[in-house]
Structure 1
Amino acid sequence: MAVQVQGVVARSKGAPVTLETIVVPDPGPGEARVKVLACGVCHTDLHYREGAINDEFPFLLGHEAAGVVESVGPDVTDVAPGDYVILNWRAVCGNCRACLRGRPQYCFSTFNATQKMTLLDGTELSPALGIGAFAEMTLVAAGQCTKVDPAAPPEVAGLLGCGVMAGLGAAINTGNVGRGDTVAVIGCGGVGDAAIAGSLLAGARTIIAVDIDDRKLETAKKFGATHTVNSRTVDAVEAIREATGGFGADVVIEAIGRPETYEQAFYARDLAGTVVLVGVPDPSMRIELPLIEFFGRGGALKSSWYGDCLPSRDFPMLIDLYLQGRLPLGDFVSETIGIGDVEAAFEKMHHGDVLRSVVVMGS
């Protein structure tokens, strides 16, 4: 039987979000219905509200979530009612050219629930990243549910569903940061700080945090930054070179998505170094660099898609590291809020007042 729950909806571009009654159908073949316990407020949700991703309004926002499987549809075998899961937006297909070549972390044909959740009047909703978890219950493809140890609190575990995984993976998976490497991270929001934490976990010896906000630079130290650079007052490229013996960093992670900071990343790396773009640019942005510099510097220029993660591999491992005290996921949570407080959380995010606001259902 379909259920009616409360959910956060963006009805039109730029309009404040509203709390609406959502109709969540019974799961069909390959689908799971999940009781959401907690969901982080991510910049991507704000991008949806602002129409920066597409114009398929109304959107059911929220995607960085943990919860418990309530029911499953026919042919679902990997998860069952009662399973504690993190929701992901990379439900790999197993059949595309990436999957068949043994690279499921690049799956080119990820999938979502087939059925649509709706408003009471039957209006179909577009769930953010195929999840829609600012709701007491949501419908997803069963492959979007990744079982993890229930000892991890949902407000912490859910963060791996998007931003924290993107940053950790940008360092560990895409950048291949290793023991003794030097790393610079440009942009110290949630994704950037996760890249710093990932670099520390991977054994980097020097980790340089770059931002224009001294508050964010102080926070970056908690996650493992050994040096901080306020690029509003000093030349970031020169400061990164100075902190790395004059050479530049082995890996530079750009966590903002702007041409000017990407150019800083490009010139701040050592010869044969790696640049990782994990910040999401505006589609209108362009960059121009001398082609001889691409040739002369060598190395690699990479984009990180969801931290190049494989949820079934990475989520349980990272939760285990958190439970062992080796990964400070709890430090990303600035505040916990109720489902009616998402619009206020967007405002705090815009002003840089929080690292992550997390909606806890029932609070």
Structure 2
Amino acid sequence: MPHEVRGVVARSKGAEVSMETIVVPDPGPGEALVDVQSCGVCHTDLHYREGGINDEFPFLLGHEAAGVVEAVGEGVTDVAPGDFVILNWRAVCGQCRACLRGRPWYCFATHNAAQKMTLTDGTELSPALGIGAFADKTLVHAGQCTKVNPAASPAAAGLLGCGVMAGLGAAINTGAVTRGDSVAVIGCGGVGDAAIAGARLAGAAKIIAVDLDDRKLEWARGFGATDTVNSRETDPVAAIRELTGGNGADVVVEAIGRPETYEQAFYARDLAGTVVLVGVPTPDMKIELPLLEVFGRGGALKSSWYGDCLPSRDFPMLVDLYLQGRLDLDGFVSETIGLDDVEEAFGKMRRGEVLRSVVNL
């Protein structure tokens, strides 16, 4: 029978979120019901609330989550009740042209639950990124559940579900950072700091953090930055070049998503270097670069979708590194809060006071 639970809903563009009673169906074929334990407050949730993703209100917010599978529907074999899982928003189909070519991290037909969660009056909810985890329970496609070691803290592990995986993957998967590389990261919020942590895991020799905020630069050092540049005070392109022997960095990760910072990333890389865009731009943004410079500098200009991750491969590995003490996921958790505190957490995020507020349920 359906479950009535608490959930955080954005009813209209720009309106403060509200706590509502959510009706969650029992899982159907290919679906899983998850008892949510923790969920990070991500910028994407704020984008949904502001109408920056689409206008399919009302939204059930929250997507960066970990929890325990409570029940599964017909045909589900990869997870079972009692499994500790991280939720992901790219459950690969296995059948599209990307999957069939052995590139499932690019899957073009990812799965979500077929059934809808609703308000008590029957209004259908749009779950953020197909997850909707600012709720005591949520319904997802079983492929959105990735089983990991239950020894991990739910508050830390859940962050792999979005922002931390996006940043780590931008460095390791998309940027292919390797031993001895020089890396620059522009924008040191949660995603940027995760890229720094990923570069350190990969063995980068020099990791340059760039931001306007000295507090964020100090956080970046904690995740592995060897050098910091306050771009409010110093030209970041000149500073990155100076710190890399005049050459520029082998890999530059742009974790903001703005034309001006992307241009900085383009000019701050070495010849044949790589630029990785993981910051999310708005639809109106445009960039103009001299085509001769694009040709003459060689290398690669890449976009990173979800850190080009494959959850079934990457989440268990990264949780193991966390449990070994080699990846400080706890360092991304600035505070733990309740469901009632999500709106306040959005304000702290906007003011740059936290890397991540995490809702514990």
Structure 1 segment 222-301 matched on structure 2, within 5 A: 222-301=222-301
Aligned to 1:215: 215
For 1:341, the equivalent position in structure 2 comes to: 341
Who is 1:153 aligned against?
153
Task: Confirm whether residue 309 of structure 1 aligns to residue 319 of structure 2.
Answer: no
Shift of 1:144: 0.1
Q: State the shift of 1:360 in Å.
A: 0.1
SS at match of 1:65: strand
Structure 1 residue matching 2:322: 3-state secondary structure: helix
In structure 1, the residue matched to 2:48 is 48
Letter aligned with residue 169 of structure 1: G
Per-residue Cα deviation, 1:33-64 (whole angstroms, up to 9, x for no partner): 00000000000000000000000000000000
Matched pairs, number = 361
Q: Which residue is 1:108 aligned to?
A: 108
> What letter is aligned with 1:267?
Y
> Deviation digits for residues 202-251 of structure 1, max 9, x if unmatched?
00000000000000000000000000000011100000000000000000
Residue of structure 1 in register with 2:130 after alignment:
130
Measured in 2, the distance between the counterparts of 1:37 and 1:325 equals 22
Report the equivalent of 2:206. 206
1:50-89 matches, cutoff 5 A: 50-89=50-89
* Distance of 2:33 and 2:229 partners within structure 1: 45
How many angstroms does 1:255 deviate by? 0.0
TM-score normalised over the length of structure 2: 1.00
Q: Tell me the amino acid that sits aligned with residue 53 of structure 2.
A: I
Counterpart in 2 of 1:352?
A: 352
Per-residue CA deviations over 1:169-215 (Å, capped at 9, x if unaligned) read: 00000000000000000000000000000000000000000000000
The DSSP-based 3-state class of the residue aligned with 2:185 is strand
Q: Equivalent residue of 1:85, what SS?
A: strand
Q: How many angstroms apart in 2 are the aligned matches of 1:61 and 1:81?
A: 24
Distance 1:264 1:208 in 2: 13
Q: 1:40 corresponds to which letter in structure 2?
A: G
C-alpha separation in 2, matches of 1:136 and 1:36: 5
Q: Which amino acid aligns with 2:309?
A: C
Distance 1:9 1:228 in 2: 39
State the distance in 1 between where 2:131 and 2:3 align.
17
2: distance between equivalents of 1:330 and 1:6? 26
Give the deviation of 1:347 after TM superposition. Answer: 0.2
- Aligned partners of 1:177, 1:283: CA distance in 2, in Å? 29
* Alpha-carbon shift at residue 138 of structure 1 (Å): 0.1
Encode CA deviations 1:241-273: one digit per residue, 9 max, x unaligned.
000000000000000000000000000000000
For 2:90 and 2:310, the matched residues in 1 are separated by 8
Structure 1 alignment gaps of length 5 or more: none
| SS of alignment partner, residue 218 of structure 2 | helix
**C-alpha distance in structure 2 between counterparts of 1:157 and 1:270, whole Å:** 35
Does 1:325 pair with 2:325? yes
* Counterpart amino acid of residue 146 in structure 1: T
**1:350: how far off?**
0.3
Gaps of 5+ in 2: none
CA offsets 1:99-151 (integer angstroms, 9 cap, x no match): 00000011010010000000000000000000000000000000000000000
How far 1:274 moved relative to its partner? 0.1
Alpha-carbon distance in structure 2 between the residues aligned to 1:341 and 1:235: 38
Calculate the aligned-residue CA RMSD, in Å: 0.3
The residue identity in structure 2 corresponding to 1:64 is E
